[in-house]
Amino acid sequence: MSKCRRIFLLTLVLLALPGLAQAANTVLAGTFDGSEPKRAPLPGTCGGSDPLAYQQAGTLQVSVTGDYTVYDALWLNGIKNGGLDVSALLYTGVFNADNPTLNLVTGDGVDYIETVTLQAGVTYVLVVQQWCENREGAWALTFSGPGAVNSSLAVTLPALTEGRFTASDPRAATVCSDGQYHVTGPVQVPASGTYYYTDVSWYAEFFDVCVLVYEDGFDPAQPGANRVPAYEPWTGVDYLDDDGTIELESGKDYYFVVQPLGVAAEGDYFFVLAPPAPFRINKALAGGWFNSGTDGQGFFIDVYENSNQAFVGWYTFDLERPADAEATLGEPGHRWLVALGPIDGNRGELPVYLSRGGVFDAAEPAVEEPKPVVGTLSIEFSDCRNGVIDYDLTTPVVSGQIPITPLADDHVELCESMTEGPGVPGPF
Q: What is the pTM of this model?
A: 0.82
The three-state secondary structure class of 82 is coil
CB 201 within 8 A of CB 69: no
Residues 343 and 190: their CA atoms lie apart, in Å, by 23
Q: What distances in angstroms separate CA 323 from CA 270, 335, 357, one per listed residue?
A: 72, 15, 22
Would you tell me which CATH number, out of the four given (1.20.1270, 2.60.120, 1.10.150, 3.40.50), belongs to the domain 3-150?
2.60.120
Looking at this protein, which amino acid is placed at residue 220?
A: P
Report pLDDT for 26: 95
CATH pick for 159-274 out of 1.10.3210, 1.10.150, 2.60.120, 1.20.120:
2.60.120
As a whole number of angstroms, the distance between CA 408 and CA 225 comes to 43
Return the pLDDT at 82: 65
Residue pair 308/343 in contact by the 8 Å Cβ criterion: yes
The reply to whether 159-274 and 287-410 are identical in fold is no
Strand-strand pairing, 387-394 and 373-381: antiparallel
Taking only the tens place, the pLDDT of each residue in 72-119 is: 999 876 666 667 889 999 999 899 999 999 999 997 888 889 999 999
Q: Assess contact for 348 and 365: CB atoms under 8 A.
A: no
pLDDT at 3: 32
Give how far Cα 11 sits from Cα of 6, 173, 204, 291, Å.
9, 29, 11, 54
Task: State whether residue 392 is helix, strand or coil.
Answer: strand
pLDDT tens-place string over residues 243-258:
899 999 999 999 999 9
Locate the domains of the chain by residue range: 3-150, 159-274, 287-410
Give yes or no for residue 20 having a pLDDT over 60.
Answer: no
Average pLDDT, the chain: 88
Please tell me the class of the 287-410 domain: mainly beta
370 prior amide bond cis, ω within 30: yes
What is the reported pLDDT for 416? 87
Model confidence over 166-177: pLDDT tens digits? 999 999 999 999
Distance separating alpha carbons of residues 268 and 22, to the nearest angstrom: 6
Percent of the chain with pLDDT over 70: 93
pLDDT digits (tens, 9 = 90+) for 260-306: 998 889 999 999 999 999 999 999 999 999 999 998 899 999 999 88
Strands (E), 119-239: 124-130, 137-145, 149-150, 162-165, 171-173, 177-180, 182-183, 193-198, 209-215, 227-228, 230-231
Task: Report the pLDDT value the prediction gives residue 373, as an integer from 0 to 100.
Answer: 94
- For the chain, what percent of residues have pLDDT higher than 90? 67
